[in-house]
Amino acid sequence: MSGLLLAVVLVPLLLAPLVVHPAWRWLVLIAPLPALASLALLPPDATLELPWLLLGTALGLDETTWVFLLFTTLVWSLAAVPVVERLGTAAGTGRFRLLFLLALAGNLWLILAREPVGFYVGFAIMGLAAYGLILHPGGLMRRRAGRVYLAMTLIGELALFVALLLMAQTQGVTWSLPATSAPDGTVIALLLLGLGIKAGLMPLHPWLPLAYGAAPAPAAAVLSGAMSKVALLGWLRLLPLGQVALPEWGMLFVWLGLVSLLVALGVGLVQTDPRRVLAYSSISKAGLFVLLLGLLLLEPTLTPIGVGALTLYAAHHALVKSGLFLGLGLRDLDPARPLVRAGLILLALALAGAPLTSGALAKSVAKPVLVSPGWIWLDLALMLATVATMLLMARFVWLIWPAPGVDDGHRGALPMLRTSNDTQAPVGSQPAFPIWSLAAWILLLGLVAGFPFVLGEPSAWPTNAGAMLIAGLIAAPLALAIWRRAPGSGRRVRRRSLGDLVVLIEPILAAQLWTGRALFGRWNATVEAARAHLYSLGERVGSPPPDPERTLRAWPTAGWLWLGVTVLLLLLVLVAP
């Protein structure tokens, strides 16, 4: 029975080559099914040992894993519907589906993995495959976003790899740091760096607004919903939570979390693209996760509550955020469809943590941890963050509201109105509205709406009502003024990429690079001159003896040799015990 766990990972991997063919694209829908089946059929502590694979692979479930697997699978299954229906058979979609399944396989593998090697391999497959998802269907903006994503992901993976290596050095290939009084600071710092990039923690966030803004709707949905939660899972698994109090690292997590939480909200408020608004909201939520982790590191006794709260929060955020991205994809086809708009507003309310939504439930569950240190200023900062989150979501709703004049009449020409996401809408004459994608999305809406009532106590429902009121008092006059076209409201906020550190860093890097090249060129010229001098000296002495190695150094030979050796090594690794 526990062989099903292997199928969870293996089925997407095996299906991946098949879905390249347009006729078999529906196979994408099947790929997440084994995961759903294993959730339904397997006991919550099923494990599977595969000692012959890699350094000894083990797959298994526990409580946290179960929840992560559940929401991850849900997000992937629901995102698979528009991949099949919306993206259709256009050029390049075969590649997209292939990478989609590879990323899915990686994501599921790392969730199920019970040892660091499997975790890292899944993490790497997922991270690299997602590069192709962001690039689809090409274009300058996406290439730039992809480049930044790839560079940062590679840095993150390297850091994670080193951290895992260091851990393996001290304790062998097992989970979780040892319960010694002084865990290695380097490991924690590397984990923070490696997984912080995936989560989008400030200042490691620059890839996130670019990638979310550029990726197609289903890709953005899985990126934000499923893949970025992986960082949280990694922290929960690898940090020594609940074993020792680590005030040093706890304070660092608290500090970084607070900065992310507050700064990202401020930056998000001045964005003009709804996708970027959502991206900054993701960054601020990553800050909240890190803040909670920091509080757990400060106060280990809270770990059981804290881990549960974090898991629940992750589930809520994954469902809501992926729903928002999928909904944006639907909205781009037809901005005036009231059902889509109403659904988006519901999701935005949930993300803002309005009373009676999943956000309020998640907040109320996390509250015991948040108030644990008893710092007044932390409470105030969190209150501020709650209000600002609501304002950010108000801004989001404002941005998705169709421009005046769009409502009345000409619905057909709408896809052309959006310029920033030109390729989202299928080019061509009057495409049919993707009914199945809409149905899947409505299913997700139902899940989100039912979330607080199924899981939460009634006492958790009215959380955040006060903050909601304050946010309303701030936002309502503004909305009124802009809606009524007050003088001056037409003036746009000066466009500013305050948060896009990339914009500021790129010229600096370019300058550094330029100088490096200039200096290197100088150096090269000197070396060349010296070499020419030496050669002329050598020729005076006589021609050198024939070099038997030269044939081996020719490019084709060397390439084949390298590939052969690599394959041989791989085979040895797979076969060797």
Partner 1 sequence: MTLLLILSWLWPLLLAPLVLQPRRHWLVALAPLPALATALWIPAGTRIELPWLLIGATLGLDTPGRIFLGFTALLWLVAAVHAIRALRDSPHAGRFYLFFLLAMAGNLWLIVALDLASFYTGFALMGLASYGLVIHDGQRESLRAGKVYLILTLLGETTLFMALVLIAHQTGSLAPSASALAALDDLAIGLLILGLAVKAGLMPLHVWLPLAHPAAPVPASAVLSGTMIKAALLGWLRFLPLGALALPHWGWLLVLAGLITAILAPLIGLIQTNPKVVLAYSSVAKMGFMTLALGMLLIEPALAPVGVLALAFYAGHHALTKGGLFLGVGLRHTSGHQPMILAGLSLLVLVMIGVPLTGGAIAKDELKPVLETLDWVWLSAGLGLAAVVTALLMARFLWLMWQTAPHPEPGYRLAGTAWGLLIGVILVLPLVVALGGGVKLGWTTNLDRLAIALALGLPVLLAALQRPGTLDGMLDRIPPGDLLEALRPLPPLWRWSQRWMRCRWLVWRERLLGPRRDWIDRQWHATRASSVERRMARWLVAGTLWIGLLLLIGLMVIPR
Range in contact with partner 1 (rule: CB under 8 A) among 102-110, 264-272, 344-352, 422-430: 264-272
Range in contact with partner 1 (rule: CB under 8 A) among 19-27, 40-48, 231-239, 485-493: 485-493
Among 504, 529, 558, 573, binds partner 1 (CB under 8 A): 504
> Shortest gap between Cβ of 263 and partner 1 (angstroms)?
9
Considering the rule CB under 8 A, would residue 496 count as an interface residue with partner 1?
yes
Q: Are 120 and 161 in contact (CB under 8 A)?
A: yes
CA dist 527 and 223 (Å) reads 47
Among 179, 480, 561, 565, binds partner 1 (CB under 8 A): 480
Considering the rule CB under 8 A, would residue 577 count as an interface residue with partner 1?
no
Considering the rule CB under 8 A, would residue 370 count as an interface residue with partner 1?
no
- Tell me the C-alpha to C-alpha distance, in Å, between residue 368 and each of 236, 310, 386: 18, 12, 16
Considering the rule CB under 8 A, would residue 373 count as an interface residue with partner 1?
yes
Among 514, 520, 535, 560, binds partner 1 (CB under 8 A): 514
Range in contact with partner 1 (rule: CB under 8 A) among 87-95, 154-162, 302-310, 494-502: 494-502
The pairing of strands 57-60 and 47-50 is antiparallel
**Site mask for partner 1 (CB under 8 A), range 61-90, x = bound:** ------------------------------
Residue 135 or 197 having the CB closest to partner 1: 197
CA dist 329 and 340 (Å) reads 10
Number of residues that bind partner 1 (CB under 8 A): 47
Considering the rule CB under 8 A, would residue 181 count as an interface residue with partner 1?
no
Q: How many CA atoms lie within 13 A of 494 on its CB side?
A: 1
Among 59, 238, 252, 351, binds partner 1 (CB under 8 A): 252
Residue 373 or 431 having the CB closest to partner 1: 373
Say which residues have a Cβ less than 8 Å from residue 174's Cβ, sequence separation at least 6: 115, 116
Among 91, 338, 429, 494, binds partner 1 (CB under 8 A): 494
- Tell me the C-alpha to C-alpha distance, in Å, between residue 421 and each of 89, 167, 417, 483: 19, 44, 10, 25
Among 63, 248, 457, 539, binds partner 1 (CB under 8 A): 248
Would you state the structure tokens that stand for residue 114, as one six-digit string? 């019970």
Give the closest residue to 331 by CA, choosing from 421, 404, 209: 421
Considering the rule CB under 8 A, would residue 140 count as an interface residue with partner 1?
no
- Tell me the C-alpha to C-alpha distance, in Å, between residue 458 and each of 92, 134, 284, 444, 446: 49, 41, 27, 22, 19
Residue 510 or 563 having the CB closest to partner 1: 510
Considering the rule CB under 8 A, would residue 516 count as an interface residue with partner 1?
yes
- Tell me the C-alpha to C-alpha distance, in Å, between residue 314 and each of 72, 244, 283, 366, 453: 10, 24, 13, 11, 17
Q: How many CB atoms sit inside 10 A of residue 301's CB?
A: 11
Would you state the structure tokens that stand for residue 100, as one six-digit string? 């989609």
Among 258, 293, 447, 471, binds partner 1 (CB under 8 A): 258
> Shortest gap between Cβ of 479 and partner 1 (angstroms)?
8
> Nearest 5°: phi and psi at 228?
-75, -20
Following DSSP, what letter does each residue of 14-54 receive, concatenated?
HHHHHTTSGGGTTHHHHTTHHHHHHHHHS-TT-EEEETTST
CA dist 294 and 239 (Å) reads 11
In the numeric block, the tokens 């997407």 are attached to 12
CA dist 87 and 136 (Å) reads 10
Residue 486 or 569 having the CB closest to partner 1: 486
Among 413, 511, 558, 571, binds partner 1 (CB under 8 A): 511
Residue 235 or 249 having the CB closest to partner 1: 249
Range in contact with partner 1 (rule: CB under 8 A) among 36-44, 84-92, 254-262, 430-438: 254-262
Considering the rule CB under 8 A, would residue 497 count as an interface residue with partner 1?
yes
Residue 23 or 182 having the CB closest to partner 1: 182
Would you state the structure tokens that stand for residue 456, as one six-digit string? 């939460």
Considering the rule CB under 8 A, would residue 453 count as an interface residue with partner 1?
no
Residues in region 459-478 near partner 1 by CB under 8 A: 476-478
Considering the rule CB under 8 A, would residue 518 count as an interface residue with partner 1?
yes
> Shortest gap between Cβ of 323 and partner 1 (angstroms)?
29
Q: Are 340 and 267 in contact (CB under 8 A)?
A: no
CA dist 234 and 529 (Å) reads 53
Q: Are 211 and 197 in contact (CB under 8 A)?
A: no
Considering the rule CB under 8 A, would residue 269 count as an interface residue with partner 1?
yes
Residue 44 or 477 having the CB closest to partner 1: 477
Considering the rule CB under 8 A, would residue 174 count as an interface residue with partner 1?
no
Among 338, 374, 405, 546, binds partner 1 (CB under 8 A): 374
Among 26, 52, 255, 520, binds partner 1 (CB under 8 A): 255
Say which residues have a Cβ less than 8 Å from residue 100's Cβ, sequence separation at least 6: 28, 80, 83, 129, 133, 218, 219, 222
Considering the rule CB under 8 A, would residue 371 count as an interface residue with partner 1?
no
Would you state the structure tokens that stand for residue 205, as one six-digit string? 């966030």
- Tell me the C-alpha to C-alpha distance, in Å, between residue 196 and each of 155, 222, 350, 468, 526: 11, 18, 25, 30, 43
CA dist 107 and 412 (Å) reads 38
Residues β-bridged to residue 49: 58
Residue 338 or 490 having the CB closest to partner 1: 490
Residues in region 520-559 near partner 1 by CB under 8 A: none
Among 493, 537, 541, 575, binds partner 1 (CB under 8 A): 493
CA dist 440 and 344 (Å) reads 14
Q: Rule CB under 8 A: which residues touch partner 1?
A: 185, 189, 248-249, 251-252, 254-255, 258-259, 266, 269-270, 373-378, 476-478, 480-482, 484, 486-489, 491, 493-494, 496-498, 503-504, 507-508, 510-512, 514-516, 518
